[in-house]
């Protein structure tokens, strides 16, 4: 009898491990479907306002389109990294803009959670809390932190999607125009579709003050579609990345050094009256010591 029970335990263990491995492979395949060349449409509209100010004006509805190349720059068992590049202007001689980056980490326990005022709180989660989950870490164009959150990829009824709600800085379209709120509570849904993928968002615009409860100023809907097209249309962006990838590997490495300190992180808005991406995007900013020095200059001690 004991032998039968032991055999059943072994069979169940192998079955559980096998199912987990198959699920993880499904997750990885879904994430990597966000790579390639896409026609992107960005749609954002403020839906509800809770301001008591009679002079309050909601943000204008914003619709933008572009061509975006998503390059798979790291593909490991527990980490997938995707660099996004915008390709704009004359198709014959396009201009390439380094865009956002998303890293996906399996069962990650270390986080930097945005807390307003260009500051992120270092947090560590228990292993059990992230079991089977993937953390999406999103970075700014200069590879500084933006937002991150951990959730489970879901594969059901022919759908593959990942949903998470987390705090984030104001988007670029807002922080140059708005100062009446300081945190975005982002409800993110990444869903793989038959045409590519969609980034569906339900966001709260929060006023956060120390020692007080967050106040919701307004709500926003975001719906960004990524329609897959032939990779050849993004050849200019792919070529640009080949030429510049070594520089940005240095940038990522320096940021990894900063993140590995596992300390609360607060960044300067400007150094020498210039934003960080302005420093790093400069053509003459290529040397490792230069890059490390300028990034460190933005980290508040």
pLDDT at 50 over 70: yes
243 in any annotated domain: no
213 in any annotated domain: yes
Q: CB 67: neighbour CB atoms within 10 A?
A: 20
pLDDT in tens, 152-192: 999 999 999 999 999 999 998 898 899 999 999 999 999 99
Could you tell me how far CA 6 lies from the centroid of its own chain? 45
137 in any annotated domain: yes
Give the total number of structural domains in the chain. Answer: 1
pLDDT at 301 over 90: no
Average pLDDT in the 97-122 region? 97
Domain coverage including residue 207: 2-230
95 in any annotated domain: yes
pLDDT at 10 over 80: no
Phi and psi at residue 24, in whole multiples of 5°? -60, -40
261 in any annotated domain: no
State the first-to-last Cα distance of the chain, in angstroms, to the nearest integer: 65
Note the pLDDT of residue 175.
86
262 in any annotated domain: no
What three-state secondary structure class fits 220? strand
pLDDT at 17 over 80: no
What three-state secondary structure class fits 139? strand
CB 95, CB 88: distance < 8 Å: yes
Note the pLDDT of residue 15.
52
DSSP per position, 86-105: EEES-TTS-EEEEEEEEEEE
293 in any annotated domain: no
pLDDT in tens, 206-227: 999 999 999 999 999 999 999 9
pLDDT at 264 over 90: yes
Give the separation between CA 193 and CA 224, rounded to whole angstroms. 12
Cα 184-187-192 angle, rounded to 5 deg? 135
Q: What is the pTM of this model?
A: 0.92
Is the CA virtual torsion 89, 42, 113, 56 positive or negative? Answer: positive
Note the pLDDT of residue 168.
98
Average pLDDT in the 138-162 region? 97
297 in any annotated domain: no
């Amino acid at each position: 009898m004991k032998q039968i029970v032991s055999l059943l335990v072994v069979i169940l263990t192998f079955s559980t491990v096998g199912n987990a491995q198959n699920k993880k492979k499904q997750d990885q395949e879904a994430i990597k479907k966000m790579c390639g060349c896409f026609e992107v449409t960005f749609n954002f509209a403020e839906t509800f306002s809770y301001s008591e100010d009679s002079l309050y004006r909601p943000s204008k509805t914003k619709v933008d389109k572009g061509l975006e190349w998503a390059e798979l720059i790291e593909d490991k068992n527990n980490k997938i990294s995707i660099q996004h590049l915008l390709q704009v202007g004359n198709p014959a001689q396009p201009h390439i803009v380094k865009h956002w980056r998303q890293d996906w980490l399996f069962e990650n326990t270390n986080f930097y959670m945005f807390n307003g005022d260009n500051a992120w709180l270092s947090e560590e989660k228990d292993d059990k809390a992230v079991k089977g989950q993937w953390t999406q870490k999103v970075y700014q164009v200069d590879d500084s932190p933006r937002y991150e959150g951990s959730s489970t990829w879901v594969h059901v009824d022919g759908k593959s999607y990942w949903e998470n709600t987390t705090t984030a800085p104001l988007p670029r379209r807002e922080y140059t125009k708005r100062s009446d709120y300081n945190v975005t509570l982002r409800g993110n849904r990444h869903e793989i579709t038959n045409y590519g993928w969609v980034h569906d968002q339900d966001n709260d615009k929060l006023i956060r003050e120390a020692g007080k409860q967050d106040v919701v100023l307004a709500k926003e809907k975001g719906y960004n579609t990524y329609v897959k097209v032939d990779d050849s249309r993004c050849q200019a962006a792919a070529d640009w990345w080949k030429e510049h990838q070594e520089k940005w590997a240095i940038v990522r490495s320096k940021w990894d050094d900063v993140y590995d300190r596992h300390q609360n992180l607060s960044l300067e808005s400007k150094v020498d009256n210039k934003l960080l991406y302005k420093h790093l995007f400069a053509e003459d900013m290529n040397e490792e010591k230069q890059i490390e020095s300028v990034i460190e200059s933005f980290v508040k001690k």
